[in-house]
Amino acid sequence: MPPSSKKRFNAFEDFPATDSNRKPLQSIADKPAMETAVERIERLKPSEMLPDRFQPRRLLPVHIRAPFFLGEIDCYQAASEWLSFAQQDSGVKEETEHLLNLGSSFDTHGQIKPITGSWVDDAKGNFVFLIETGERRFWAACLQYVTQKSESEPLLRVEVVANPTRQRQVIENRHAEAPSAVEQACEVSALILAELQILPDANLHDDYEFFRQARAQRMPAGLWDKITPIMQLTRPRMVQLLNILQFPSPLLELADRFRLPERVLREILGQPQSEWETLVRQSIQNSLTSDDIVEHIAAKDEKKSTSIEKSTRIGPTPERNALRSLRRFMRVFRKIDALQQSEILDSLADELVINKQAKETLQIMEEFISLLNARLKRR
Amino acid sequence: MAVTITIANEKGGVGKTTTAVNLAAGLALYLRDREGADGRVLMVDMDPQGHALLSSAYGQHDVPASESLSALLVESPPPSIQRMIKPSDHHPNLYVLPSNRNAMVEAARLMPTLMANETRLTNVLRAVQPQFAFIVVDTPPNTGDLLVNALVAADHIIIPVEPSYLGVSGLRELQMSIEQVRLHFKPELNILGYLPTLCEEQRIEVREILEQLEQRYPHQILPLIHKASDLAYAHSSHMDVFTYKPPRQRMAGQLASSSRATQEYALLVETVIERTGK
């Protein structure tokens, strides 16, 4: 208890007499949110970034995509599995080699173009940088990190974009590298869906189902006019590309990986669905063109009509196999000039001699030549 | 969108940091069952001393300057705030914006020379407003651009007041600063309440000052926070008081334990939830 003889001052003596909570003053004009007009380049680690799962250009093999986008493996584990898979698949190997070259160019020349994207939050409340453009640079850095077994994560130049768009993504893809037919189909689809403001569903198991939606949409007036300048293709051409998405997803993956042309896929689509897989695989194995597919189908139809008469025959005979192979051999040569023919024949001769097949081949060819000459003379 | 609450008083030692830490932790506990942004709280420490982070994210309280709050305040354009936000030590839904002590001192010195120096915190927080339910901002015990930024960024202000002669003497200056912020930036800035702290009701002076506060600011006096050793010991243990003195079994929605400090801050949390309409 304070001594009563000492004077005590009022703590509030400097305050105004009435100090009740005043009403807010008249508001001044609302200031709009300040839009950052200046670009900012930052450096992020690949582990702070995430590629766009619904980007039309698909880089990761399908069996790695699912666990990666589900968060079961990180980007470096995905890169490691990708490299392992590349040892078994020539299409994948070519892609990874391109990316590794790109990654090594970062060491030599630095990263020239920044990756663009925006910050989003994941389900756990953490922020992650979602890539809009530059996924190839991302994977190049991851593959390089895994290959070189670096101690510290690489730092990639990124630019935060306020409003990422599908259109920018497609334009960047087309400028960077010529897309495959399947990629082009996905690009057309992605642009259509973006214009119709149809967003991808993260719960989709099959990413291609998102792109297939475009085929079922009613196109409002003017939509094709918006897409044409970006794709630089005519409307009929874009419709042809969209039709590719009729293939089941495993075949789309194959066609994308081995960059089958649209014309080949179009011819295959014209066949019964039960034959699609066989034709796709044959196209990949034998590097068939669309004309080859047509001839193949024609030969097959011819075979079918004769097999009705010879119903006991189950499979192709050695004669037919040999004739088919000889026709294919001749087709190759018909399409090239004389100089190239000479070069190829020279190379084939070397190959047969090295493999000790030259004598046997010569005997068979000499007999065949004599038979051909005999028939031609009789004419 | 997040509700931003700034804890401010230009006088030091009145319990701003204690209030900021325990309010943020209490809100995180209260909201822990809510999904997504509705359940997340962000704490921002604008005080160069960085004491708030000692209790909530001890390992993050002195990150490199380029990865800290000071970079957001002084660089033009600022780096991405998203890559700087880190989870706290004790609550999975409480996040912190780390700071660097020396860099914050430097930032306080630089900011008067920069353009738009009062609105920098507002601009950087705008990017993450949709990702949180509450943003709690601790402030330094002096008038300057760091405090002004925190006031401009706020939707509500809580003013801890030590009920003593010297404790009240700093209120007038703060109120004038708030008036200036209302005039130039944010007319809708609201004083959510005056929070009596370090209360020792056995002293006559304390009771008198509390009565005068109630007369001057009717319906704006928040539940008292008494002086308590639990609060001091929680700080030195690098914890908030709810973590330092948890209940034996935390039931759903329960914040308080037998510790009076936890009960008083729990009541503050409930009052804040009620008055902010969250």
In chain A, where the domains are located: 37-162
Residue A35 has pLDDT above 70, yes or no: no
Domains of chain B: total: 1
Q: What are the percentages of helix, strand and coil residues in chain A, rounded to 5?
A: 60, 5, 35
Binned at pLDDT 50, 70 and 90, residue A123 comes out as low
- Residue A163: left (phi > 0), alpha (psi -120 to 50), or beta? beta
Residue of A23, A57, A359, A326 whose CA lies nearest to A190: A57
Edge-to-edge strand list for the sheet holding B94-97: B86-87, B94-97, B41-45, B134-138, B3-7, B156-161, B190-196
Question: In the predicted model, is pLDDT for residue A44 greater than 60?
Answer: yes
Residue A308's pLDDT band (boundaries 50, 70, 90)?
A: low
Q: A306: which 2 tokens?
A: 């004769």
Q: Which residues face A131 on adjacent strands?
A: A117
What lies within 8 Å, CB to CB, of A130 at 6+ separation is: A49, A50, A52, A117, A118, A119, A120, A164
Distance CA B55, CA B238 (A): 4
What residue of B is the nearest CA neighbor of A31? B185
Rounded Cα distance, B73 and B95, in Å: 19
Q: What is the mean pLDDT of chain B?
A: 90
pLDDT, mean of residues B157-183 = 90
Tell me, what's the pLDDT at B19?
A: 96
CA B151 to chain A, closest CA, distance in angstroms equals 15
Please enumerate in sequence order all residues whose Cβ is within 8 A of that of A281, keeping only pairs 6 or more positions apart, or say none.
A254
Residue B258 C-alpha, separation from nearest chain A C-alpha, in angstroms = 30
pLDDT of residue A306: 62
The amino acid that residue B198 corresponds to is L
| HSE-up of residue A10 (Cα within 13 Å, Cβ side) | 9
pLDDT of residue B261: 93
Q: How far apart are CA A172 and CA A166, in angstroms?
A: 10
Residue A257 burial (C-beta neighbours within 10 Å; 0-12, 13-18, 19+): buried
CB pairs under 8 A between A and B: 80
> What pLDDT, on the 0 to 100 scale, is given for residue A138?
95
Q: In the predicted model, what is the mean pLDDT of residues A198-213?
A: 89
A228-251: pLDDT as tens digits: 888 888 888 999 999 999 999 999
Q: How far apart are CA A268 and CA A142, in angstroms?
A: 37
Query: What are B199-246's pLDDT values in tens digits?
Result: 988 888 888 899 999 999 988 999 999 999 999 999 888 899 999 998
pLDDT tens for each residue of B248-267 = 877 767 788 889 999 999 99
Residue A292 C-alpha, separation from nearest chain B C-alpha, in angstroms? 54
Q: How far apart are CA A188 and CA A168, in angstroms?
A: 13
Across residues A1-5, what is the average pLDDT? 54
pLDDT at residue B161 tops 90: yes
DSSP state of B12: T
Of B194, B161, B192, B225, the closest CA to residue B14 belongs to B161
A44 touches chain B (CB under 8 A): yes
ipTM passes above 0.85? no
Q: Which pLDDT value is given to residue A310?
A: 52
Nearest-angstrom CA–CA distance, A268 and A186: 19
Q: What is the pLDDT of residue B242?
A: 93
Residues A67-98 pLDDT 10s: 999 889 999 999 999 999 999 888 788 889 98
Domain hosting residue B77, numbered range: 3-276
d(CA A185, CA A207): 13
Which range scores top for mean pLDDT: A20-24, A177-181, B76-80?
Answer: B76-80
User: Which residues of chain A make contact with B164, given a CB cutoff of 8 A?
Assistant: 11
CATH number, residue B83: 3.40.50.300
Closest partner residue to A44 (CB to CB) among B76, B83, B171 is B83
Model confidence pLDDT, tens digit, residues B41-52: 999 999 988 777
Q: How far apart are CA B88 and CA B20, in angstroms?
A: 14
pLDDT of residue A29: 33
Which pLDDT score is estimated for A179? 86
Q: Inspect the interface and report whether the beta carbons of A36 and B77 lie closer than 8 Å.
A: yes
Select from B83, B103, B90, B79 the least CA-distant residue to B41: B90
Q: Determine, for residues B169 and A11 on separate chains, whether the beta-carbon distance falls below 8 Å.
A: yes
Asked whether the whole model's pTM tops 0.80, one would answer: no
CB contact at 8 A, A258 and A265: no
What average pLDDT does the structure give for chain A?
83
Q: Give me the pLDDT at residue B273, please.
A: 95
- Of A64, A122, A124, residue with least CA distance to A89: A64
Q: Give per-residue pLDDT as tens, B67-126.
A: 899 999 999 889 999 999 989 989 999 999 988 889 999 999 999 999 889 999 999 999
Q: Least CA distance to A32: which residue of chain B?
A: B123
Contact B220 A21 (CB under 8 A): yes
Q: Does A9 touch chain B (CB under 8 A)?
A: yes
